[in-house]
Amino acid sequence: MASRIALQLSGVERSYGQGETTLQILKGVDFTLRSGEIVALVAPSGTGKSTLLHVAGLLEHPDAGEIRIAGEPCNGLSDERRTAIRRAEIGFVYQFHHLLPEFSAIENIMMPQLISGLSKAEARERSKALLDYMRIGHRAEHRPAELSGGEQQRVAIARAVANAPMVLLADEPTGNLDPETAHYVFEALEALVRQSGLAALIATHNMELAGRMDRRVTISGGKVVDL
């Protein structure tokens, strides 16, 4: 059976004002991401990688074009509905983990689940399972400052998928890690995607990691093209 389309961008454009001029970053982007697929986004800095991820993740509005998440058109939706879709269907991982320093690893993962209405007991059980899956269950009660860089990123990944989203968007998730740690973090991320059927778009400068993904795309002339 064909995998489901999780994310679809059609004719997406995005510009920014720069003084009296307008800088057009995305120029009619067409892109499709399917469930269970890991796609590497490899492009030089300044070409629009972060802009593409922000627009795809409903953090920014496109100037033109259409975005569909799990088949639902997202243009013209209220901010409340966009927030609800982000919370339920989209997970984000960044280069820096952005974990809340005053909370333990397991509490950081519980947070988005509690916001979505899960009970504390359910959220804790799922968070413990995710930490075990990421092979850091023994660090559940440690705060971020007590974790290594690789452990922090694995907690951040677990938090991103805590609400079982359909789409995972990652912006240089291993950029701050040494090569060996980056390998282990990506290995955990890949296993999670394969097991859960997530659709993942991962911006990276690491060509070795990009080579392990299902396909590679870049941004050229404001459009997404295959490598």
Condensed to tens digits (0 to 9), the pLDDT of residues 68-77 reads 998 899 988 9
Question: Residue ranges of the domains in the chain?
Answer: 38-58+85-226
**pLDDT higher than threshold 80 for residue 208:** yes
Burial class (CB in 10 A: 0-12, 13-18, 19+), 75: exposed
| Architecture category of domain 38-58+85-226 in CATH | 3-Layer(aba) Sandwich (3.40)
pLDDT at 87 over 70: yes
pTM of the model: 0.90
Per-residue pLDDT tens over the stretch 90-148: 999 887 788 999 999 999 999 999 998 999 999 999 999 999 988 899 999 999 999 99
Instruction: Return mean pLDDT, the chain.
Output: 91
pLDDT reported for residue 1: 40
